[in-house]
Amino acid sequence: MSRKPVPAQAGDRARLEILFDRPQLLGRLFGEYDQNLVAIENRLGVYVSARGNRIQIEGEAEAAGRAREVLTGLYHRIVRGENVDAGMVDAVIQMSAEPTLDGIIRADVSEAPAIMIRTRKKTIVPRSATQTRYMHALDSADVIFALGPAGTGKTYVAVAQAVQMLIQGQVQRLILSRPAVEAGERLGFLPGDMKEKVDPYLRPLYDALYDMLPAEQVERRIASGEIEIAPIAFMRGRTLSDAFIILDEAQNTTPAQMKMFLTRFGQNSRMVVCGDPRQIDLPDIGKSGLADAVARLEGVDGIAVTRFTATDVVRHPIVGRIVEAYEGEGALPA
């Protein structure tokens, strides 16, 4: 490697060393053209050098310690067979600075996650402390509200939990719903029948399903009714028992729609309501059913609320910076 050291922050400097016992895995750890090491250097202000299976880290003491934690954590994930991509690297760097759930000591990112979700195609592990809390809520609460910006994994992780519970027989069906609210284009002017008109609004739910299950299983389960994807209007008058129910883009419901949806809850079911209160497409943004429901129900037994922020974005790192820019000073109105 021929990169120049990145100037460290002021403070006590340290030189730390890691010795990895499986050097054949280091190519995956470093990334193509050492892109993972470059990301760690740029984010933490350290210099990382490698000779064989021996890694040296130089920089401000706390930053060097975090870099060692990050590299060890990524290495352990590779050993466990997980895919380490740019998003994972960014998430582990972020988690290395976050407190644990009890707020006392820093999370040990080098250890196996305390909770994970297994589906046919993927094993989902938390990529931030907030995702860890969210996954625990998905595993224990009856109704979960997930609030926050795009890219934080609200819907994706909920679909993963739903698929896990379906394949384990804990629920008999998945019901995935979104309000069909236009963001600048009227449904009536789009070509096709009702299914063709609403499917574009439900596409993110299909995409998440295909990430968790083989395509033929998704199609078979949709045909059999085990998986149902429909606009919220189709939920009226039903009782949804033995089901995992997800409402996405819930900020675009009215209070009446939200009440209708929440009261569909039946025996042996779980319900997740996802949305970004700052991205309301309703004509009257003051009448969002999501904000109304959280204000009424937060603190009620059996109901959990998880709030994500821009720091929890797990897509490309630039998405988090875009969200921060829009939510900062001079932000657009919600």
Residues whose CB falls within 8 Å of the CB of residue 111, separated by 6 or more in sequence, listed in order:
73, 76
pLDDT of residue 192: 57
Kindly indicate the confidence band of residue 83, based on its pLDDT and cuts at 50, 70 and 90.
confident
Rounded Cα distance, 51 and 300, in Å: 56
- The structure's pTM equals 0.70
Whether the predicted pLDDT of 2 surpasses 50: no
Rounded Cα distance, 42 and 62, in Å: 15
pLDDT, tens digit (0-9, with 9 covering 90-100), for 98-147: 654 333 334 556 555 667 888 888 778 787 788 889 999 999 999 999 99
- Rounded to the nearest 10 degrees, what angle do helices 289-297 and 255-262 cross at? 60
Whether the predicted pLDDT of 55 surpasses 80: yes
State phi, psi for 99 to the nearest 5 degrees. -75, 160
Whether the predicted pLDDT of 10 surpasses 70: no
Residue 58: which of 34, 75, 41 has the closest Cα?
Answer: 41
Residue 248: which of 225, 237, 232, 265 has the closest Cα?
Answer: 232
CB 175 within 8 A of CB 334: no
Summarize the confidence of residues 296-302 as an average pLDDT. 94
Residue 229: which of 173, 160, 158 has the closest Cα?
Answer: 173
pLDDT of residue 106: 46
Whether the predicted pLDDT of 324 surpasses 50: yes
pLDDT of residue 245: 96
Query: Facing residues of 113 across strands?
Result: none
Encode the chain in three state secondary structure: CCCCCCCCCCCCEEEEEEECCCHHHHHHHHCHHHHHHHHHHHHHCCEEEEECCEEEEEEEHHHHHHHHHHHHHHHHHHHCCCCCCHHHHHHHHHHCCCECCCCCCECCCCCCCCCCEECCCCEECCCCHHHHHHHHHHHHCCEEEEECCCCCCHHHHHHHHHHHHHHCCCCCEEEEEECCCCCCCCHHHCCCCHHHHHHHHHHHHHHHHHHHCCHHHHHHHHHHCCEEEEEHHHHCCCCECCEEEEECCHHHCCHHHHHHHHCCECCCCEEEEEECCCCCCCCCHHHCHHHHHHHHHCCCCCEEEEECCHHHCCCCHHHHHHHHHHHCCCCCCC
Percent of the chain with pLDDT over 90: 43
Kindly indicate the confidence band of residue 332, based on its pLDDT and cuts at 50, 70 and 90.
very low
Residues whose CB falls within 8 Å of the CB of residue 249, separated by 6 or more in sequence, listed in order:
178, 179, 181, 201, 274, 275
Whether the predicted pLDDT of 4 surpasses 60: no
Whether the predicted pLDDT of 198 surpasses 80: no
Whether the predicted pLDDT of 320 surpasses 90: no
pLDDT of residue 256: 93
Strands 47-51 and 123-124: unpaired
Summarize the confidence of residues 79-105 as an average pLDDT. 68
Rounded Cα distance, 69 and 193, in Å: 54
Summarize the confidence of residues 35-53 as an average pLDDT. 90
pLDDT of residue 317: 62
Please report the domains of the chain, with CATH numbers, ordered by start residue: 13-95 (3.30.1370.10), 117-327 (3.40.50.300)
The per-residue b/e assignment along 73-105, b for 16 or more CB within 10 angstroms, e otherwise, is: bbbebbeeebebeebbbbbbbbbbbbeeeeeee
Rounded Cα distance, 307 and 144, in Å: 11
Percent of the chain with pLDDT over 70: 81
pLDDT averaged over every residue in the chain: 82
Summarize the confidence of residues 70-84 as an average pLDDT. 86
Least confident window among 31-45, 110-124, 293-307: 110-124
pLDDT, tens digit (0-9, with 9 covering 90-100), for 226-284: 999 888 888 888 999 999 999 999 999 999 999 999 999 999 999 999 999 888 888 77
